[in-house]
Structure 1
Amino acid sequence: MTATAPRPVLVIGVSGSGKSTVGALLAERLHRPFVDSDSLHPAANIEKMATGQPLTDEDRLPWLRVIGARVAEGVNAGEPPVVACSALRRDYRDVLRDYAPDLFLVHLAGERSLVAERVAARSHEYMPPSLLDSQYAALEPLGADEGGVVLDIGAPPADLVERATEAITAEEGGRR
Structure 2
Amino acid sequence: MAGVEAPCGLIVMGVSGSGKSTIAEALGQRLGWRFEDGDSFHPASNVAKMRTGHPLTDEDRWPWLNAIADEIGRVCGRGEHIIIACSALKHTYRDVLLRGRDDVRFVFLKGTKELIAERLAHRKGHFMPPGLLTSQFDTLEPPEAGEHVITVSIDETVEAIVDGIVRQLKLGGAKR
TM-score calculated relative to the size of structure 2:
0.91
Q: Which amino acid aligns with 1:83?
A: I
Aligned equivalents of 1:99, 1:74: Cα separation in 2: 16
Pairwise CA RMSD: 1.4
State the AA in 1 paired with 2:97. Answer: L
d(CA) in 2 for partners of 1:144, 1:101: 14
Q: Give the aligned partner of residue 174 of structure 1.
A: none
Q: Which runs of 4+ in 1 moved over 4 A?
A: none
1:165 alignment partner, SS class? helix
Cα–Cα, structure 1 residues 99 and 43, in superposed 2: closer, same or farther, change >3 Å? Answer: farther
Give 5+ residue unaligned stretches, structure 1. 171-176
Conservation of the 8 A alpha-carbon contact between 1:97 and 1:103: yes
User: How far apart, in 1, do the equivalents of 2:140 and 2:89 lie?
Assistant: 5
Q: Distance in 1 between matches of 2:95 and 2:25?
A: 23
Aligned-residue identity in percent: 44
Aligned positions, number: 168
- Please, which moves more after superposition, 139-148 or 38-47? 139-148
- Any conservation in 1 of the 2:8–2:80 contact (CA below 8 Å)? no
Contact kept, 8 Å, 1:68 with 1:100, in 2: the verdict is no
**Structure 2: distance between partners of 1:100 and 1:44:** 29
2:95 equivalent in structure 1: 94
1:134 & 1:5 partners in 2: Cα distance?
34
Deviations 1:33-62 (A, max 9, x none): 001001111000000000000000000000
TM-score computed with the length of structure 1 as normaliser: 0.91
Equivalent residue for 2:26? 25
Do 1:71 and 1:100's aligned partners in 2 also have CA atoms closer than 8 Å?
Answer: no
Deviations 1:55-95 (A, max 9, x none): 00000000000000111111011112011000011110000
